[in-house]
Structure 1
Amino acid sequence: MNVYSFDGLVVAALLFICTCAYLKRVPRVSSWLLSEKKGFFGVFYKAAVIGVRLHSLVALSCLSAAVYVLFVR
């Protein structure tokens, strides 16, 4: 999949959000990676918050992106 196309960018963003939300549940990684709320590491924190708070919409988006990539494209 090409990351420079729109659908590749959406899939990469969804994977990033899901990964950060998962890493928020791991204590060592959470204290190291997700402790900063501003700057470069703040992007990881904000993606984790989006993944945790909007988990149903993120899951629905992941399923729709998977269907698109597997069957439409």
Structure 2
Amino acid sequence: KTNDSSYSLDGILVFGLLFICTCAYLKKVPRLNSWLLSEKKGVWGVFYKAAVIGTRLHIAVALSCLVMAFYVIFLK
């Protein structure tokens, strides 16, 4: 049973994991790294912090992505 008026927790988790993975990938691209991830505070600092989480905890993030993919494909 889904409720259209509220967000689902699994959708927010999928978005968070994809956001962290995307920012970690963009950190490896030199031109985008200097443009997007140079600010460490404020609203733009969220991208930097997500990139740091993705690079430092890459094993945990990868395992979380696999678990979430299994959940979305087979259990949802």
Shorter-chain TM-score above 0.5: yes
Task: Tell me the CA shift for residue 58 of structure 1.
Answer: 0.1
Aligned-CA RMSD value: 1.4
Task: Tell me the CA shift for residue 4 of structure 1.
Answer: 1.5
Spell out the pairing of 1:1-73 with structure 2 (5 A cutoff): 4-73=7-76
Q: TM-score, normalising length from structure 2?
A: 0.92
Q: TM-score, normalising length from structure 1?
A: 0.95
What is the number of residues matched between the two proteins?
A: 72
Deviating above 3 A after TM superposition, structure 1's stretches of 4 or more consecutive aligned residues are: none
Identity %: 71
Structure 2 unaligned blocks of 5 or more: none
Tell me, in whole angstroms, the C-alpha distance in 1 between the residues paired with 2:56 and 2:7: 28
